[in-house]
Every structure is written in structure tokens, then in C-alpha cells.
Structure 1
């Protein structure tokens, strides 16, 4: 993964050694892998679900699935990529099982002071952008979140989603085009 929000490089042999140890039941090795990759997994889940609580649930479920699935893990892929794929799958399951949730704001705008109008407009734009991303078809949203918000390359997005690099580019392009259309009132 590249440097944007992706943690340490997985090309190092020590991470592959951790995976090998975790595959034979070493809980400490798995815990180290979790610490290395849980932030990226959470950010992807949060962008995909729009809800901090759902994101936490998705990551928890994905980590449990990763632990249980380690014996079948193919070491020709990277652990972080595999974990993010599990997160995406869990997000997809959640989106099919439930109606879309309204994302919660991190904080209410401060209504005391001269910048109130600006804060309200900024919060409105933020909320509209989140709603627009959440309204994208799942496949476009997943590609957009992985590439634009999590910093994965198109090749990595393709690997995570099980599509070609060019298909990943197309999905991101279509997602961006849909967002521009939905948010054109801002111009």
C-alpha cells in the first residue's frame, strides 16, 4: 500500500513471518497484525457505512473472520489487502441487510459567534457530500473509498475488489462523475 493511511509496508519479511505465526495459532502475532492494519480497516468501514458504530461492528466482525480464516489464507496475497477485502464484504452484507443509515456528525456547529453562518454552510456541505457518497452504488463507492479516501492504487483497488486495474479506474471515474452531478449546486 502507499503512504496515505496505509501503515507500514507489507513487503517486509517480518509481516509475512507474523502471518505465518498467526496461521498456526499464535495470538500475539495476530494481535500485532491487527494493530498494524486496524486503522485502515476502520477508515474504510467508516467511509463505506457512514456510521462509526456500524464501522466498529464491521471491523470487529472482519477481524474475527480473519482469525478464523487464517488457515485458508493464501500467502501469495498481502494480509492488509485480504483484511480490507473482508471489511468490504462485510460492509456489502450490511448494506444489503439494512436500510441506509444517516451518518452522524462528529459535532454540532458552534452557534455562538459571527462565524455561525459559515459553520452552518460548511456543515451542510459536509453532510451533503457524505450523503452523496453513501448514495453511490456499492461497487462505485467501494472503489472511490479505497482509492480516494484510503490512498490505495488502482492496482490495489482492483486486487481488493477482485477486478482489473482498468475496471477500478472506471468505477472511480464513474463515482466521481456521479458526485459532481449530485453536488453541482455548489458551483
Structure 2
């Protein structure tokens, strides 16, 4: 069976949980992608371009976490606590390294990340090339980028990452719905 990962990121609350970077991957079998995508499209409210955790009400966040938990997907989250003053891009790079390693070990063949600026996307691809050269990820592992407004499956890891941030900042109710489907890897600087 072929598996793909859909990846989004979040920095935690800078006051309550400083220097923490989170990458969430929703892992879906190729056979399930279309059905899950169709279900996720229904999450969007009239007028919304995409579902985005930070823009949602508390009531809607609860609903989204429960809805994501009902789908045919597993979730891997890498949380990295950096050191004070560490650049965000370094935290992101270290988190991506671990995520790529974990996904490869799980047999995932590729991932789609929410796109950022072109320069940042090139850094993502450069990291993958370096990890391939060191044989830390398979040579055939694919990494692509898309905008969240174009790919509804990117909304899943956004909800998962938001739930993890909420739990780390004292509100575990959203993550509780998802926990049977979530694996969290903690790494320290």
C-alpha cells in the first residue's frame, strides 16, 4: 500500500510555550485520499478559502478536532523545543529532519507541504537532497509544495498542529479527541 503525508507547521504560543516549533503530518493511504479529501472539503464554511485553526472559534475548533478524528488518517507530530534566541528557520529545519526520518521509517513515499515563499520552499527541497545523499531518506522520497487553499488535505495537519499547541498551552480537550490517531515525537535542542 502506498502512503502520503500532508504536512503543516506551527510555532507554539510565544508567551506560554516559547521557542517551540511543531510540524504535523497527516498520513493517508493512496486508496483513501479522494474520499478523505471530499470529506474535508465540507469543513470549509461559506466564504472561507481554507480551514485555518487560528481563524476558528473555540466551538468550531472542537468540532474540527472531532471531525478530523473521524477520518481515515493517522497523524505524526514532531515538537522541537529550541533554545532561547534560536532562529525559527533552524527550529524548522531540525524538525523537518526528524519528520522526514520518521515518515521514511513508516514507509511513507512522499509528502506535500503547505507552500511558503519560493526561497523557503527551495530550502525544504535542499534539505531533502542532503538527507538523500546521507541515506537518511530513500532516494525516491518526494517532497512537493501546495497552497492550503488548493489542497484540502493540508487542513488536517493544521487542525492537528493547532490541537497540539492548545494542549501545550493548557487546553487538552481538542487533542484528546485525536490522541488515538496521533504519535508525538519530542526533540530538544
| Same fold by TM-score greater than 0.5 | no
Could you tell me the TM-score, scaled by structure 1's length? Answer: 0.30
Name the structure with the higher helix share.
1
Question: Which protein has greater RCO, CA pairs closer than 8 Å, 6+ apart?
Answer: 2
